[in-house]
Amino acid sequence: MLDRATHAWRQWGQRTQLVLFLLLGTGLSAAHHLLCRALHGTPIRRGEFRLLGTTLAYQTLVSAGSNAIALLIKYCFSATISVAFSQHFWHSIPPFSSKGRIIPATPRTHTKSRQQELEDIDAPITAASGNPFLPSSIKTWLLSPGLATTSLLMLLLVLIPTFAPGSIRVITPDFGVPSPCTIQSPNITLVDTDRNTQMATFANTVIISGSHLPIPSPCGRCAYNVTFVGTSFQCTPDATYNFSGFKNTTTDLSIYRGTLNIKDPDAFLRVATRGGTISAPTNARAVRCSAHSTEYTLRVWHNATSWIEPLSSTVLTQLDFQILRVLPDRQIQLDGLSTFAVALGLALNGGVAYNASDSSIVSPHPVPFSPLFHMEDQNITDIAFSWPNMETALPSLMQNLTFSLLSHQFRARENGTYFTESPGLCWTTQPIYEYTAWRLLTIYGMGWGAAAVWLVLGFWHVGRNGRERDLTFSNLVEGLDIPKPKHKRREHRRAS
């Protein structure tokens, strides 16, 4: 049985190795691709583990594993080409190239000395290790350019473990990793809006800053979507506004007036502004605003600072400012949505005038000290005033006050919170694996293609040689036709 297996291996061993090495390299290449694809986009696993007394990070394990697989694939493709090299050697290097299936017993006529012949054999034997540029193998380029090219190809396969592991790398994309999290959505009906001082403070802060209140991050550097119902304004030009109260004298110039009237839901807030200069003021303009309940969908971003990106808003109903009850201090109680609108309306209620005698702004509220108002000196005696488009500026203020619900600074009606929780997704900023598939597949594809071509050439050279050959010492000695010593020839004749 052993003799039969040995005989079969001598007949088919080289071709079996050609096929097996290529199949093994193909399998490892596919496995490496699938592994990298599975890791693509996944967060780096934190923590460490111990292996043989050494503490390693999981990222180190992935890197080392990728390098090891690439090196094994290089060995498989290189082994395939190396076996083909051996078959090519027996087909192209004299005296082995003349052997065919059976070594002839007739003596050869030597055109080279034995020393030259051995040097010609030694060069490709050295090149078989995979480097045709060594001093002892450079001669292969003259003896057999095909063998030298094969050896060069084995040398170039070192590019596989050099570049393939770089196909999987670690990046830290901003807000690029989705992960399950708990979304906190504010419920305005749970806010204690009876605290008039608190509501006034927040409304004035929003007007002066021109932005919503700071929002704390529940998840570090992350982003998430939140949906809730809040208050919004819709403002249109007011053609019926009475400008008779706007002063325009040599000493006083009315430049702003806000009027709050909850008894008129269609125009519960009216705002008039005037721009231009003291010497040449422009005509005053007015807008009227109604308040509405609105469903907002926002994306909240937390990085070094926090900001809000409105995704959508759906107007639900117009607020009618119905009085729920009168409190003991004669304050009226409205629903939460209406209270937000009134809080901002009270902060905008009143007038702003410029006193030319002492160059001062006369106002009891924060509007002239906010981004809404811009004033600059034209010359020594004249000053210019400007206001934004109130049709968009006032809804923006109401929006910022509503978005301030996310600041967690409002008080809840009862002990606890005015937020409701629901499961959702947060986009976090953390290290993840990124797989560049084309890079890995291109490198492995080129190596596989070269190995496949040389597998075919290996089979072809076996057919030309008449049988399989390798570069073992015994086969080389057999192919050199070394003459037997004289005493061996005498013993041979006596035996015959």
d(CA 301, CA 219): 10
Report the Cα 234 to chain-centroid distance in Å: 40
- Tell how strand 360-362 and strand 350-355 pair up: antiparallel
Has residue 109 got a pLDDT over 60? no
Residues 6+ positions from 485 with CB-CB distance below 8 Å: none
pLDDT in tens, 14-38: 888 889 999 999 999 999 999 999 9
Q: What percent of the chain is predicted at pLDDT more than 70?
A: 79
d(CA 445, CA 453): 12
Instruction: Name the residue with tokens 């806000």.
Output: 258
Report the Cα 138 to chain-centroid distance in Å: 48
Provide the H-helix boundaries in 283-430. 336-348, 390-403
In which band, very low, low, confident or very high, does the pLDDT at 111 lie, cut at 50, 70 and 90? low
- What average pLDDT does the chain have? 81
Closest by Cα among 199, 403, 210 to 298: 403
In which band, very low, low, confident or very high, does the pLDDT at 167 lie, cut at 50, 70 and 90? very high
d(CA 398, CA 394): 6
pLDDT in tens, 452-490: 998 998 888 887 777 667 666 556 665 565 555 555 445
Residues 6+ positions from 284 with CB-CB distance below 8 Å: 243, 246, 254, 272, 273, 274
Task: Average the pLDDT over 300-310 and give the result.
Answer: 88
What is the model's pLDDT at position 102?
42
Q: 3-state DSSP: the chain helix, strand, coil percent, rounded to 5? A: 45, 25, 30
In which band, very low, low, confident or very high, does the pLDDT at 225 lie, cut at 50, 70 and 90? very high
Q: Fill in the DSSP letter of residue 213.
A: P
Closest by Cα among 11, 75, 121, 78 to 454: 78
* 10-24, 99-113, 149-163, 189-203: range with lowest mean pLDDT: 99-113
Say if residues 196 and 250 touch (Cβ distance below 8 Å): no
What is the model's pLDDT at position 106?
44
pTM of the model: 0.65
Residues 6+ positions from 320 with CB-CB distance below 8 Å: 265
Has residue 176 got a pLDDT over 80? no
d(CA 82, CA 77): 9
d(CA 490, CA 420): 108
What is the model's pLDDT at position 336?
79
d(CA 77, CA 160): 10
What is the model's pLDDT at position 231?
93
d(CA 5, CA 171): 53
What is the model's pLDDT at position 46?
67
What is the model's pLDDT at position 55?
62
